Amino acid sequence: MTFRMRLLLSYLTLIALPLFILSTLFYRTSLNVVTEQAQKNVYAVVQKNNDVIDTKLGIADQNSRALFVDKDLFNIFNKLNPSREEELIAADRQVSAILSKYFSQDEDVYNAQLWTSYLSFGLSRAMPQGDPTQSQVYKEAVKAAGKMVWYPTYDFIRMFDQPWLTEGAIDYRYLFSATRLLNFSHMEDSTMVKLKPNVERPVLTISYKSTVLDQLFEKSIPTGSSYMVLDPDNIVVASSDKAQITKRYEQAWLDALSKQKSGTRRLKLGGENQIVCFDRSEVTGWMSIVITPQSALVSNLVPVIRTSTIVSALALIIVALLFAYFILARMTGPIKKLMSAMRSVGEGDFQTRVEVARNDEFGLLSQRFNRMNDRIHLLVKENYEIKLKEKEAEIHALNMQMNPHFLYNTLNIMNWTAIENNQKELSHMLVCLSNMLHYTSRKDWGAVHLSEELEWMRNYFYIMAVRFEGKFVVAYDIESALYEEKLPRLLFQPFVENAILHGFSSLEQGGLIEIRGWTEGTSRYFEIRDNGRGISKDGIDAILYKESASVGIKNTISRIRMAYGDEYGISIQSVPGEGTSVRIHLPHKTQ
């Protein structure tokens, strides 16, 4: 059996399984996508409704704030004598007019009043409240001491103890209210004037029918959905189930929602998969919840998705068989050409090329083969050249090694000459310089032990101390555990050099360099402190951040960060005229 026939039979055998899997995945994915989109739409509706609620109720909040500084209300209550009935009647008319100015344009507001123990001002509707100051609504407002209180939906008859209204049909049976204790004040000649201490502060009460929220949700949520609005104590403010209004809604799944401000959940409630969308009001703190059965969202779309999946699967099978016949017929020719070219390249003929006569995948494959062949040829050539350059570098390195040996020999001769002439100080300087050159000219520039670094520093300090005729002294305070740990070579040199050359430039004597080392947790710290002339803040910024700064310091910072990471490095603190402190931060016990 030919390769073409085997490939065709394999293709036909395997085509059924992938198409079945793809069809199933397509059906489930489509169903999931539709469900998610419907869920997002319901969630958007909930958020939009909440925005509308916040806008509506936010107007009342803003207007109530304006009443605090209303000069007319201030004058009315500041001068009012509650014992005089004629004054109360006149004040009631004035207060009603003022409240009408603020709230009459808001069609959602059912009633707006100012409650006191002696009169309810602004009573524009026949609502027999008795003494409202005995109600829980009033008490919550007084307790809030001027903050807006959104009292959830309550039964008017129970709240104001009006049992004789039970048998009647009243449209204000269920209300929710916004209340605020008003402590009036206003500016007079740049002075804040407040109510007299003996004046009773009224409570502003703005009442809404619970149907205000019902109308908003009933017009916007999907068919079959239910809704509810809960206050932070899970008291039902509004609900599609009217029997739940004013009651506490106790469900375990509410606990998870109360911890979030907004979102969606898929829950199984009452044995049915439900989509719960919720959003909390910024104004009232109430949570709007819409519960939608998952089946209600996709019931009309499931038959469409199922039918389209089956039709698509059958169409794909037919098209796949047709394509398989023609595609397999065009595969064997290009494959043979590529195999022949590969055989030539394998024998070392990198000049072999495959003719590109097609613009399909096989044409692209031929182009890539030709490019790969050229690249292999180039790499072979480059590898040969690299080998030659490595040989040249080895020869150059051997020649460079002669220079340090020449210097050591020369310094050795100079040292013996100084000893013969009894110039001990010069001899010591030459020995120190020889040790320093040996330390810096080693091939291995990896990390060194702290003890090696300090030995190099002592040689350096000796030469510099002789050069500057004892202008400074050096003190060490390093934890013993640090001596066996490794650090980058020449870590301290740029900082002590700056201290000597620049920090002590104005001193004749008395310079002090302190080198400290200690560990803290997983970090180790080294500090180079001097008592020189110090550095300005601009000077420190130039050293740490500008490209024109000291090459040695920049190189040291770069080496620390490359070796240990960007969280390590140096910090500089300085007080002009007092000295400079450079702190180096490295990790503890690292290679």
Write out the H or E segment, with its range, that includes residue 186: strand 185-188
The CATH number given to whatever domain includes residue 389 is 1.10.8
Residue 415 has pLDDT above 70, yes or no: no
Span 283-293, average pLDDT: 89
- Indicate whether 403 belongs to any domain: no
Question: pLDDT by residue (tens digit) across 448-467?
Answer: 888 888 888 888 888 888 87
pLDDT > 90: percent of the chain: 9
Tell whether 382 is covered by a domain. Answer: yes
Return the pLDDT at 399: 46
Pick the most confident of 134-138, 360-364, 385-389, 505-509: 134-138
The CATH number given to whatever domain includes residue 146 is 3.30.450.20
pLDDT top residue among 107 and 180: 180
- Are 475 and 494 in the same domain? yes
Residue % of the chain over a pLDDT of 70: 82
Q: What is the pLDDT of residue 590?
A: 55
Asked, for residue 228, whether it belongs to a domain, the answer is yes
Q: What is the mean pLDDT of the segment spanning 323-346? A: 71
- Any residues with CB less than 8 A from the CB of 471 and at least 6 apart, and which? 465, 500, 504, 507, 508, 509, 511
Higher-pLDDT residue of 241, 549: 241
The predicted pLDDT at position 439 comes to: 63
pLDDT of residue 401: 46
349 burial level (CB within 10 Å; 0-12, 13-18, 19+): exposed
Lowest mean pLDDT among 281-295, 355-369, 481-495: 355-369
Mean pLDDT of the region 148-152: 91
Do 74 and 199 lie in one domain? The reply is yes
Residue 255 falls within a domain, yes or no?
A: yes
Mean pLDDT of the region 161-189? 82
Give the residue from 254, 281, 298 where a domain finishes: 298
For residues 469 and 560, membership in a common domain is answered with yes
pLDDT surpassing 80 at residue 547: no
Q: Quote the crossing angle between the two packed helices 361-420 and 332-346, to the nearest 10°.
A: 30
Average pLDDT of span 120-138: 78
Provide the CA 248 distance to its chain's centre, in angstroms. 37
Does the pLDDT of residue 503 top 60, yes or no? Answer: yes
Model confidence over 30-54: pLDDT tens digits?
A: 777 777 887 888 888 888 888 888 8
Residues 244 and 285 in one domain: yes
Task: Look up residue 530 and give its amino acid.
Answer: D
In a domain, 372, yes or no: yes
**Residue 27 included in any domain:** no
Domain CATH number, residue 458? 3.30.565.10
Residues 229 and 263 in one domain: yes
Position 451 scores a pLDDT of 87
- 245 and 194 assigned to the same domain: no
User: What range defines the domain where residue 175 resides?
Assistant: 69-209
Same domain, 581 and 452: yes
Is 12 or 364 the better-scoring residue by pLDDT? 364
179/260: higher pLDDT: 179
Residues 179 and 106 in one domain: yes
DSSP letter assigned to residue 501: I
* 178 or 348, higher pLDDT: 178
**Minimum mean pLDDT range among 101-105, 132-136, 181-185, 432-436:** 432-436
In the chain, the number of structural domains is: 4
Is the residue at 118 inside a domain? yes
pLDDT for the residue 398: 46
Query: Where does a domain end: 183, 209, 235?
Result: 209
162-171, 265-274, 385-394: which has the minimum mean pLDDT?
385-394
Residue 397 pLDDT: 47
Q: Are residues 220 and 233 located together in one domain of the fold?
A: yes
Indicate if the pLDDT at residue 83 is higher than 50: yes
Residues 500 and 563 placed together within one structural domain of the fold: yes
Residue 481 within any structural domain of the chain? yes
- Is the same domain home to 361 and 272? no
**420 three-state secondary structure:** helix
Task: Tell me if 117 sits within 8 A of 200, measured CB to CB.
Answer: yes
- pLDDT band for 554, please (50, 70, 90 cuts): confident
d(CA 184, CA 69): 6
Find tokens 């050409």 and name the residue. Answer: 337
End residue of a domain, out of 192, 209, 226:
209
Are 430 and 415 in contact by the 8 Å Cβ rule? The answer is yes
For the cut 80, the answer to whether the pLDDT of residue 443 exceeds it is: no
Identify the weakest region by mean pLDDT among 62-66, 151-155, 219-223, 288-292. Answer: 219-223
Amino acid 515: pLDDT: 93
Structure confidence at residue 586 (pLDDT): 92
Q: What is the pLDDT of residue 580?
A: 93
What value does the CA radius of gyration of the chain take, rounded to a whole number of Å?
45
Give the separation between CA 397 and CA 147, rounded to whole angstroms. Answer: 83
- Among positive and negative, which fits the CA dihedral 578, 477, 465, 549? negative
pLDDT beyond 90 at 302? no
| 97 and 133, same domain (yes or no) | yes
